[in-house]
Structure 1
């Protein structure tokens, strides 16, 4: 089922990509371009999301630490 879905999505993505780039290809090449593009794009997007998640985690940790220091100084430090 996943392979069939990948082929269908790849065919649609390949069709759209070949129209955007104004390339005239046959059906097999269009589907192949779409499937390979989906794999490459998926890997790149997954890597980008992973890096962003680490960065946002770090920012959240710093903000949490700043809040904790503020809370400690405001309510517990006196």
Structure 2
């Protein structure tokens, strides 16, 4: 699948993660977060559970969203520590 597909998946995953975590971020941050989340989610699903080839649209969105939620959680924790 092409890079435009992954940008769209990243935007969707970032948006969903933003809503799940009740964060307030912009479109570019959503795309970046979703792309990083797709990488993190894909790595975790593939290495820990041994499946997840990322071929299906829904599977890709779910995996990317899980990864984006994890990345957003880590970012929030780092921000809390630096603010304190």
TM-score range, shorter chain: 0.5 to 0.7
Whole-angstrom CA distance in 1 between matches of 2:19 and 2:49:
28
1:1-78 map, 5 Å: 2-50=2-50
> Which protein has greater RCO, CA pairs closer than 8 Å, 6+ apart?
2
Q: Which runs of 4+ in 1 moved over 3 A?
A: none
Alignment RMSD? 1.7
Whole-angstrom CA distance in 2 between matches of 1:4 and 1:48:
27
Task: Name which one, 1 or 2, has greater alpha-carbon Rg.
Answer: 1
TM-score when normalising by structure 2:
0.56
The answer for unaligned runs of 5 or more in structure 2 is 51-84
